[in-house]
Structure 1
Amino acid sequence: MACHSPVDGTANSEDKRERYVTHQEYQEVYECAGNQVRLLMGLTYRTLQRPESDIIRWTPVVLATDPHSKQRVLFFEQEKTGRKVKIAVTDKIEVLIQKALGPVPRIDQPLVHNLKGEGYTYSGITSMLTKAIEKANKKRAKKELPLMDSFGFRDLKGKGATDMWLAGTPIEQIQLLCGHADKSTTEKYIKARWNATAQPNEIAVL
């Protein structure tokens, strides 16, 4: 399967992206990736936001305090939909944010940035992910294990939503996190990535 890495920032429709990245695949690629690829992997999986149009553009400005709960949150407007989204900063997300900010954070510096403090193009950082996958596959080849199909950051958005669903998270909560206006969009988004084996009817009738 070809890696999804649109140069212009566009992507295939969400209901056609069926690649499900397993935990094992995620871990193997994560181990082979550089810090910024790891960061974008983690933020995409945790927040379920679009890496190519939202996360890659985030700066410390997205960090805020909810005036009602006084909780630390990520607050931003989705580039594609214009919807305002507010996501709680949990411990796992806080770790990612602190790694992104570094010891001397700059308010205008993208959270995902290179050594010069500059942001990446989506095609550029996707090529870095592809190299990490290739490196992971070389390790697999040495062990005579099957090679994994390539994947893009957007597939980790789908993985995050699917994993939440499999863990029993209500579809409405996943919909809210994704920022989908319609629950049916979230359902298609998840089911396109989870090809579960149907179980036969085993009710005793005789």
Structure 2
Amino acid sequence: MTTILFYKPYGVLCQFTDNSAGDKRQTLKDYISIPSVYPVGRLDLDSEGLLLLTNNGQLQHRLAHRQFAHLRTYYVQVERIPDEAALQRLRKGVKIKDYFTRPAIVEILLNEPKLPPRHPPIRYRKSVPTCWLKMTLTEGRNRQVRRMTAAVGFPTLRLVRVAVGGDRLGRYAERNRALTLSNLQPGQWRELTEVENKILFELVRST
């Protein structure tokens, strides 16, 4: 079995070919040369961060499907500063089209996270403040984080997935219970370490 961890940059399709009729966009093929690996779940074109790829179909299904409720943690830069009412709505679940999102762990980050610069950078409005949130979800529906923050009135400007796994309080790095970007830069990938393979095994075994 081969499983790799990739830091997906902004503007890269979460697939190996671009079938669109317009200008061709970057795909996973521009970065990853290992044959027969496929993404576990997806990250949108305009999202960044941790993406797992594997050649094990069963593993791919168990990690990606929402029924198994694996934790996914994101750093989310939003426009303006959410108040406690908005944070509570995100935590309890918000209605998006025909469904309600599951309860989430959401907190304001007091300091801007140390992330590589985005290329191109986000478009700031000088008169509008921004804020960073840490959001931990147990599902990954299409553009879910962006739709959640928009639903409570705080559009997402930048979205970076930083971890998969962790405990139910949203803690991950300090307990070796999650997979993280751990020193990767955008566009870089590597195979999982022995410790990370054990974490992956625990994630699958716990469901």
How does the TM-score come out when normalised to structure 2?
A: 0.25
Bigger Rg, which one: 1
Q: Which has the higher helix share?
A: 1
Structure scoring higher RCO (CA < 8 A, sep ≥ 6) equals 1
How does the TM-score come out when normalised to structure 1?
A: 0.25
